Amino acid sequence: MTAKQEEPTGLEIAIVGMAGRFPGADSVERFWDNVLSGDEQISSFTADDAVAAGVAPEQARRPDYRHVHGVLDGIEYFDNVMFGYTPRDAALLDPQQRVFLECAWAAMEDAGYAPRAERAPVGVYAGASQNAYLLNHLLRSPGALANTSPQELLLATEKDLLASRVSYHLDLRGPSVSVQSSCSSSLVSVHMACQALLAGECELALAGGVTIHVPQKEGYQYTVGSVFSSSGRCLPFDAEADGTVFGNGVGVVVLKPLADALADHDTIHAVILGSAVNNDGARRAGFTAPAVDGQVAVIRAAHRVAGVDPRTITYVETHGTGTSLGDPIEFEALAEAFGTDGAPCTLGTLKAQIGHLASAAGVAGLIKTVLALKHRVLPPSRHFTRPNPEIDLDSGRFRLLTEATSWPEHGRRLAAVSSFGIGGTNAHMVLEEPPPPSPHSPGRREHEVLPLSAREDEALLELAARLREHLATHPEAELRDVAATLQSGRTPQRRRATVACTDIDSAIAALAAVRSPTADARDRGVVFMFPGQGAQRVGMGRGLYETEETFRTWIDAADELLDFDLRGLLYAGDPAENGQTLARTGYTQPALFAVEHALARLWMELGLVPRAMIGHSLGEYVAATIAGCFDFTTALDLVAVRARLMQDQPPGAMLAVALPVAEVLPVLGAETVVAAVNGPALCVVSGPVPAVEVLEKRLRADGATCRRLRTSHAFHSPMMEAVAAPFAARLREATRRPPTIPFVSNLTGDWIRPEEAVDPEYWVRHLLAPVRFHEGVGRLLSGPASVLLEVGPGAALRALVGRAGDDHAVLGGLPEADDGAYLARTVGRLWEAGVSVDWSRWRRGTWSRIPLPTYPFRRRRHWVEPVPGSGLGLAVTAEETHDAQDARPVSGAERADATRSVAGLSETVLSIWRELLGIDDVGLDDDFFELGGHSLLATRIIARVADMTGVELPGDALHSAPTPRGLAALAERRDSLPVVGDGPDPELMAQLIAEIAEMSPEEVEDRLRGKP
């Protein structure tokens, strides 16, 4: 007897991620702990609690009232900032949709896929229960809906939008379907998601359900013969069972075709072999009654799809409501569909622990079963004592366990889950334990990068702490899996930190040191900065040469082309002797060019292609080569020729002077010149050694700070004029091309022009004229936000650039110790600054997506409490009264009062924003859309401005003037436009909107105050 067909059918679906919140458990992990303990998680409370929750005192204190419910903690709280909701909109949104949205995000991350970043089509299938928050809170709170349009209320409360809301906020492009089949909704959702995956409608799918009934401490009044339990306990298949108890919960699973999950090295928690859905039709006692025939049919259909012999299934998570009618019918159907012979089969009864979760019941049972398969444990039904007399447990293969038991293997472990809905829609699903994980291919980086990000500092630090705790309890985790999952399976946020580490222990230590970043990550490109002579040192790039194939390949290529042993000079022999050799210009410049070029190629191989470049003297040749002006062989030859010619010139000296160039020029002697302007108060003087010494003494005597540079010659001075003619001849022989990547010229301090890059005379002047590095950096810093990355040894250019402002960041190059951590640390810092890193280029070998701590949402309370004694009519009346007030025509006197002063108009607009957004601290220059505003709310703001001021603005005014100050300016100028038809001249109106959209806050203020 085999557990399944020997060959895969191609219909298998892997469960690769899970998330959920259940009574007594805020996570799947805690939920499993509770399942194993068998402890009941249904809460009991008092009559006073029920009264406080809104239950009528006379009802709450009846002897037949049962004060029990499966309570879900924290439903009042929601991370509205993460999902872009204003506090007002968050308070209106059905808590079922809020909680489900957060769980959907967590499930994606648990599977190792980044919400808002997954480009493959991802489907969403989900069901929710009736919106009790609307009925029992919003409509019973006078004034709660006062500023809410019918469309906004519909969008916030309609359960049909559950799946679509997830697709929108997680940017998922597959089918998005809300499923409603009562208690079986969530398992039917999983079934439909499997069908969509098999049909190719999506490549990944989220499925599940949610039920949140409020007030949570409402309880129920027991009636004989009802579905509710007389004892306040749910005891499926037990002799004492006479009804169920309800609870709140949410569960989401992430699904993927098994073959794809194996190929992509996903963590597979269990495998769905097949499922089926049907309806009982009319062959039952009543609309709400179950039927044996329908349940037997759906179970057998699922077994056929799965291709399994039911005798090999050894666990079934039952629907198990504990009702006197439902339990015997379900047991009879199981016995008929599964047969009486075969391996012993344990029945699971989750509702006994957490209650009946209605629309989330099926997925809760599924998650429990998945965890049982994964851990190979048969869960207990702790409160079971003796069977219902209408159920025969003695003669069949079914049993209930009161203690957790190791799951024996009968071939592969197989399980099933049932979920049956009021109304007759039945679902059954067959699962198999997960296959063994695929082995990793050899090879990984010695230093890995763990990226962490969040919207707020508190969440970032909590995420680091959670990951540290997780790794401490999972020391067996593969570091490459941890790194790759964080790199590819998380959505980058604005607050970022990275950890470079070599193993789990070093990761734990580094995570303990994570601190809040000094600035937000911004969308930035990379600018390469190549240093010039003086940055060289023996051993530069040694660690990269030993570990990075790309770097090694380019160094080896340079070594083959040069007439000296480059590798021996840099990485072998006596360091002191090599240092003396490397100090000679004929060796310095080719070696420095080779290392910088190899490092640039390595960065580009890792996906960091510069948007622009700048080089300092020799460094500009590296920039020109990367830009395609010269091929590598030509460039290296030109650098070597240039270096030999310079080496043959008379000795000279160079002096760095910490003064503005305007103060240095008057004190220069006849033989000294300014060779470089590196900063606003930093320049370099070049000339014969005696002349430079005289100048240095004079400057020091005047109190100036000076420093001799490590050079043997006076570069960028008339002492290099003898180099010009022979070097020009060699340049004319070389192939030259226009740049394909822009770089800044040392000669002009501006972007190099194509005709300059191909002109031999440009490169001759380049070696004689001063380096205008400071001007060149200014040109770069006036462009788009970027990270200026020094590509070469040391950090001299980073020091010259200094503080680059809020839009730009600066990173140094190869450190003195040149250890293997350089790349990892620098990649991390680039990502922290906002550079888009292609992590797939960074990784080596194969890796697996593994479950890691998910995003720590920063939840805030967004809740509308019902007013005691309020009814539905009162809230509706309040809303209608408010709308009537809004629609009342404003008199000329009132309009004048509202707009009599500039401050009055601005404050009027500001007060409207604060009221309708639900945010008290809105400022005059805050952006409507960044605060969570949307098109429906924009329409109401425009209407309210018209009501309060009498000024009618176009419906799209907020798109062009999205701040209170801008909108006030638009309103102030609106009446001055000539009228055409029923409104202002449309062309002038469009021009006015465009003008205000381009104004700074100061210009808008001036306009409001009547200044020209």
Residue 901 has pLDDT above 70, yes or no: no
- pLDDT tens-digit profile of 439-480? 887 778 899 999 999 999 999 999 999 999 999 999 999 999
Q: Looking at residue 1005, what is its pLDDT? A: 53
Instruction: Determine the average pLDDT of the residues in 364-381.
Output: 97
Q: pLDDT digit string (tens) for 651-660? A: 999 999 999 9
Alpha carbon distance 192, 177 (integer Å):
9
552 Cβ partners below 8 Å, 6+ apart? 544, 545, 546, 598
pLDDT (mean) for 213-232: 90
Over range 550-569, report the average pLDDT: 97
CA distance 253 to 103: 9
- Give me the pLDDT at residue 120, please: 92
Kindly state the average pLDDT of the residues 288-301: 92
Cα–Cα distance, 76 to 95 (Å, whole number) = 7
| pLDDT at 868 > cutoff 90 | no
Whether residue 873 is predicted with pLDDT greater than 50 in this model: the reply is no
Q: Give the model's pLDDT for residue 523.
A: 93
Across 487-511, average pLDDT: 96
Mean pLDDT rounded to a whole number for the chain: 89
CB contact at 8 A, 20 and 104: no
> With 80 as the cut, is the pLDDT of residue 877 above it?
no
Does the pLDDT at position 812 exceed 50? yes
Span 247-265, mean pLDDT?
97
Bigger pLDDT: 335 vs 1005: 335
Q: What is the pLDDT of residue 999?
A: 58
Name the more confident of 907 and 210: 210
pLDDT at position 399 is 94
User: What mean pLDDT comes out for the span 763-779?
Assistant: 96
Q: How far apart are the first and last CA of the chain?
A: 91
Helix (H, G, I), strand (E, B) or coil at 718: helix
Cα 836 to Cα 184: distance, rounded to the nearest angstrom? 43
Q: How far apart are CA 36 and CA 27, in angstroms?
A: 14
Portion of the chain with pLDDT greater than 90, in percent: 74
- pLDDT of amino acid 178: 97
Determine the average pLDDT of the residues in 31-55.
93
Structure letter (DSSP) for residue 335: H
Nearest-10 Cα torsion for 549, 554, 558, 560 = 50
Q: Tokens 């059954």 label which residue? A: 428
- Per-residue confidence (pLDDT) for residue 998, from 0 to 100: 60
7 contacts: CB under 8 Å, gap ≥ 6: none
Distance CA 656, CA 669 (A): 16
Mean pLDDT, rounded, for 909-937: 78
Is 0.85 topped by the overall pTM? yes
Collapsing DSSP to helix, strand or coil, 278 comes out as strand
Task: Report which of 636, 665, 833, 643 is spatially closest to residue 723, judged by C-alpha positions.
Answer: 643
| Alpha-carbon gap, residue 650 to 762, rounded angstroms | 24
Mean pLDDT value across residues 193-197: 98
Nearest to 96 by CA among 31, 156, 50: 156
Cα–Cα dist 489/847, whole Å: 12
Please list the residues that pair with 570 across neighbouring strands.
Answer: none
More confident: 928 or 896: 928
Q: What per-residue confidence (pLDDT) applies to 938?
A: 74
If pLDDT is split at 50, 70 and 90, which confidence band does 993 have?
low
pLDDT tier, 341 (very low <50, low <70, confident <90, very high otherwise): confident
- Tokens 């809104």 map to which residue? 54
Q: Tell me how far apart the alpha carbons of residues 356 and 366 are, in angstroms, rounded to a whole number.
A: 14
- Give residue 975's pLDDT band: very low, low, confident or very high (50, 70, 90): low
Which residues in 230-378 belong to E strands, given as ranges?
Answer: 249-257, 270-279, 315-317, 345-348, 377-378
pLDDT-derived band at 245, boundaries 50, 70, 90: very high
Q: Give whole-number Cα distances, 228 to 65, 324, 362, 414, in Å.
A: 11, 10, 19, 32
Higher per-residue confidence, 887 vs 512: 512
Per-residue confidence (pLDDT) for residue 643, from 0 to 100:
96
- Give pLDDT, residue 5: 45
Residues designated as active site = 183, 319, 356, 617
Q: Residue 789: which pLDDT band, with cuts at 50, 70 and 90?
A: very high
Average pLDDT over residues 20-45: 96
- The mean pLDDT value for 820-830 works out to 93
pLDDT at 550: 96
Nearest alpha carbon to residue 401 among 237, 258, 166: 237
Q: How confident is residue 1007, by pLDDT bands cut at 50, 70 and 90?
A: low
